[in-house]
Structure 1
Amino acid sequence: MKKAVSLCVLVLCCCVAIGSLCTSSFFFGRELPVRNTMRTASSAALPSRGAAPSRETARPPLDTGDDALLLERAKEVLTSLSEEDYAALSQMVHPVKGVTFTPYSTVDPESDLCFLPDQIADAAEDKTRYLWGFRDGVGDQISLTIPEYICTYVYNADYLYAPEQAVDQVLASGNALENVREIFPEDRFVECYFPGLRPEKEQFDWCSLKLVFSAYEEQWYLVGLIHSEWVI
């Protein structure tokens, strides 16, 4: 009789233990996963003993003298501008220097506005009207949002299909000082040029866009967008 009672107690204890284990599995198993972000971060940072440390795929060295690579990067920037894809554009903006916007040929580091990648990525939602400078020949303030400025003083023409394009060469100049080489002496630039937009203007409506790139972590990153145009 005692043995039978002891056996029943033992069976009951086993059932309780199994039930507890099943309950734990329900709350902490696949049905309701618990994420420990600190432990996950630590595990990612410290490889387990005997495991080879993870390595990021290294980019091949950037050939800064290869014009084809520079032109391809410029095409990517122009494509993002033509599509008003600010998220894509932000990925090509220099992560440390940002990109400087110049409305009329002469770059002025003291007054030209500079934006970092995250600011460009949020451009469509940014309703701030920034003071970019003054209209050449008129003197009115250039007070525009980032998308408005880009539409007026960056991608005012379809530069992706500009009839003339050059690397590290100024194709057109007016009464404004061209100082891209002085301000960006270590960098390279691509200029896209329209001799004229409307035939009746007899080329007195020429315009151009310079895209200035700086080498960083084996890639070209955008550091300057310089707009030039005919001004009366």
Structure 2
Amino acid sequence: MKRAALMTVLALLCGLVLGSMVGLSLSSSNNSAAVSSSIPTVAYNQHTYASAVPTEPPLDVNDNTLLLERASQVLEALKQEDYSALSQLVHPRRGVTLTPYSTVDHSCDNVLSQDQVAGLAEDKQLYTWGLAVGSGSPIRCTSKDYFARYVFNTDYTEAPQVGIDTVLISGNALENVADAYPNGRFVEYHFPGIDPALEGFDWCSLKLVFEIWNNDWYLVGIIHGEWTS
């Protein structure tokens, strides 16, 4: 009897030990499964987020439509004297170089930043913009007066001739836009003449030069041209 009772107790103890080991193993397996199943979920979420971010295609530098659209925006801002809108089209880092007579000279042509263009109407300070052809006297005036005489001297939105990367007419001044802006493209607006009685001796043109920044065209140069004796 004693021997049978002892065997029963030993059997019960073995059962308890084995049961506890099995439970521990199952618990460990469940935890591993939980950790392992969470890894692909995180990876999947990251992958989904990355693929949802839109990527902007690079600007087609040969697309004349985009270039003309930007040039038209500049002309409209000039016509409306909306210098705040114009400033947003100016290159944020380079600013815009202003050339009164066809030949670009970066060593002396004035450069206006975005902020200076935005405040152009209120700026009463006199600046020297170069030398007048013929007289050789300094062109000294406010920014607004310069724009009225050497930028939008006529309504270039009505120009009968428009050229892209092409100089439509050459006068006495050297035409060096391509050399002065090797990384740019330009649109020229040209009037063969204003007063028919002058038979073309009052022709004038406006070149708008653009370069790419942040995948868009920005204004870097405004070149005025006109007939000179």
TM-based fold match above 0.5: yes
Cross-structure match for 1:185: 182
Residue 150 of structure 1: how far off its partner (Å): 0.5
Opposite residue 172 of structure 1, the aligned amino acid is I
Per the TM alignment, residue 111 of structure 1 is displaced from its structure 2 partner at its CA by 0.2
Secondary structure of residue in 2 paired with 1:133: strand
Task: List 4+ stretches of structure 1 deviating above 6 A.
Answer: none
Other-structure match for 1:219: 216
User: 2:129 maps to what in 1?
Assistant: 132
Which residue in 2 is equivalent to 1:40? none
User: 2:136 & 2:92 partners in 1: Cα distance?
Assistant: 33
Q: The residue matched to 2:111 in structure 1 has which SS? A: strand
- Distance in 1 (CA, whole Å) between partners of 2:158 and 2:72 is 10
| Aligned with 2:82 (options 81, 85, 93) | 85
- Other-structure match for 1:156: 153
CA deviation string 1:79-118 (max 9, x = no partner): 0000000000000000001000000000000000001101
Q: Summarize deviations over 1:145-193 as a string: whole Å, max 9, x none.
A: 1111011000001111100001000001101000001110111000000
Unaligned runs of 5+ in 2: 1-45
Aligned to 1:98: 95
Greater Rg over alpha carbons, structure: 2
Match in the other structure for 1:208: 205
Q: CA deviation at 1:60?
A: 3.7
**What is the aligned residue count?**
181
Structure with greater helix percent: 2
AA at the equivalent of 1:108: D
- Offset, 1:59: 4.3
Unaligned runs of 5+ in 1: 1-49
Partner of 1:120: 117
Could you say what the CA RMSD is over the residues aligned between the two structures, in angstroms? 1.7
Q: What is the match of residue 15 of structure 2?
A: none
Q: What is the CA–CA distance in structure 1 between the aligned matches of 2:134 and 2:53, rounded to whole Å?
A: 52
1:107 to 85, 104, 114: 104
Percent identity between the two aligned chains: 54
TM-score w.r.t. the length of structure 1 is 0.75
- In the alignment, is residue 141 of structure 1 matched against residue 132 of structure 2? no
